[in-house]
Amino acid sequence: MKNFDQPHDMREWSRLQSASHFSIGFVPTMGALHDGHKRLIEVAQQDCDRVIVSIFVNALQFNNSQDYEKYPRLIDADIQICKEIGVDALYTPSHATVYPPGFETHITPGATAAPMEGVFREGHFGGVATVVNKLLNATLPDRAYFGTKDFQQLAVIKRMVIDFDLNVAVVPVATVRQPDGLALSSRNTRLTAQQRDVACVIYRGLEAARTAYLQGEQSSAELMSITKDIYGSCPEARVEYVEIFDSTTLCTLQNISKRNAVMAVAVWFGDIRLIDNIEFTA
Ligand code: PAF
């Protein structure tokens, strides 16, 4: 496995692969790799001749410095995982490489970034869009893979790729869950044993809403209150938002009779914030 930490070297390798007619898949990560990342890599390996994984904990997307400091960093274990599963190249730039002194140009996403995460994590998607743009420029992939757990992130990146005429296909990959429904996330490792036991309530709340929808309930207010009641019954859970919106425009929906809708939630357990979502397909 190749390991690059400079954009110039990374790009040169990618150009060589493309010149040899190998297609390139790219999986951007912030490390602490889990089965969700492995699934992204697996899908990329099925689709592409070469797969690049980046590991970079992007300070720019953390609106809370404690969250940034406490974010799990397991670089040696991550490198080992990437080797074992046959990643072709790892890109691990330092903070100073990505944001050298004098760095001042940021991407500001628009309406897609405004609701939900945009309300509670000011500046987050600007940081995500800026770093993903830089990572795409360094890796030059044909396809880039993102998990649907971060549904709004995926929408923001798809929009950026269109708006900036980037020559990459954005490929969504379904959320990987624990047997009890908890979506895999690097932040799960910070849950206490007790918080971990009850964190499956997140998916239970989402599923209850979907079940009600499949049984004919179409009012977003009703569906959201089903989910909130379930979260309300879990003393460890503190709900930040429960929203139902159009899966393409991310506009809030009052009624989900004719449109593809998604319910997204953010729930705190102590000082750990977890997000998840579920699709209602019309
Ligand atoms: O989803 C993530 O892990 C990050 O937001 C990403 C896309 C790697 C950008 O830092």
Which value, to the nearest 10 degrees, does the dihedral of the CA atoms of residues 127, 128, 130, 134 take?
130
Residue predicted with more confidence, 63 or 274: 274
Structure tokens at 180: 């009890």
In which region does residue 125 sit, left (phi positive, over 0), alpha (psi from -120 to 50) or beta (all else)? alpha
Asked if CATH classification 3.40.640.10 holds for the domain at 186-280, the reply, yes or no, is no
Q: Which pLDDT tens digit goes with each residue over 86-130?
A: 999 999 999 999 999 999 999 999 999 999 999 999 999 999 999
pTM: predicted TM-score of the whole model, two decimal places: 0.96
Tens-digit pLDDT profile for residues 190-220: 999 999 999 999 999 999 999 999 999 999 9
Q: How far apart are CA 62 and CA 255, in angstroms?
A: 33
Tokens of 27: 């999986």
Q: Taking 90 as the threshold, does the pLDDT of residue 69 lie above it?
A: yes
Q: What is the pLDDT of residue 257?
A: 82
From the candidates 21, 34, 37, 95, which is the catalytic residue?
A: 37
The C-alpha atoms of residue 162 and residue 120 are separated, in whole angstroms, by: 25
40 close to ligand 1 (CB < 6 Angstrom): no
Pairing type for strands 169-173 and 143-147 reads parallel
Atom of ligand 1 nearest to the CA of 54: 8
For the cut 90, the answer to whether the pLDDT of residue 258 exceeds it is no
Q: Which of 91, 132, 275 to mutate to test the pocket of ligand 1 (most atoms within 8 A of CB)?
A: 132
Crossing angle of helices 220-232 and 201-214, in 10° steps, is 150
28 CA closest ligand 1 atom index: 8
Quote the CA–CA distance of 156 and 38 in Å, as a whole number: 23
Q: What's the confidence (pLDDT) of residue 281?
A: 79
Q: Are 280 and 262 in contact (CB under 8 A)?
A: yes
pLDDT digits (tens, 9 = 90+) for 141-162: 999 999 999 999 999 999 999 9
The candidate with the shortest Cα–Cα distance to 123, out of 112, 109, 111, is 109
pLDDT at 282: 58
CATH topology of domain 2-173: Rossmann fold (3.40.50)
For the question of residue 124 being annotated catalytic, the response is no
CATH 3.30.1300.10: which residues of the chain? 186-280
Average pLDDT over residues 7-11: 98
Amino acid at 164: F
Provide Rg for the chain, Cα atoms. Answer: 19
128 lines ligand 1 (CB under 6 A): yes
Q: Is the CB of 33 under 6 A from ligand 1?
A: no
Q: Which atom of ligand 1 is nearest to the CA of 128?
A: 9
pLDDT higher than 90, residue 259: no
User: Is the CB of 36 within 6 Å of ligand 1?
Assistant: no
Rounded mean pLDDT, 25-48: 98
Secondary structure letter of residue 261 according to DSSP: E
- Listed residue (246, 275, 250, 241) closest to 112, CA to CA: 250
**pLDDT, position 189:** 92
* Secondary-structure breakdown of the chain: helix, strand, coil percentages, each rounded to the nearest 5: 45, 20, 35
Nearest to 27 by CA among 10, 42, 11, 5: 42
Which backbone phi and psi does 213 adopt, to 5 degrees? -60, -45
Ranges in the chain annotated CATH 3.40.50.620:
2-173
DSSP class of residue 176? P
Q: What is the Cα–Cα distance from 16 to 18, expressed in whole angstroms? A: 5
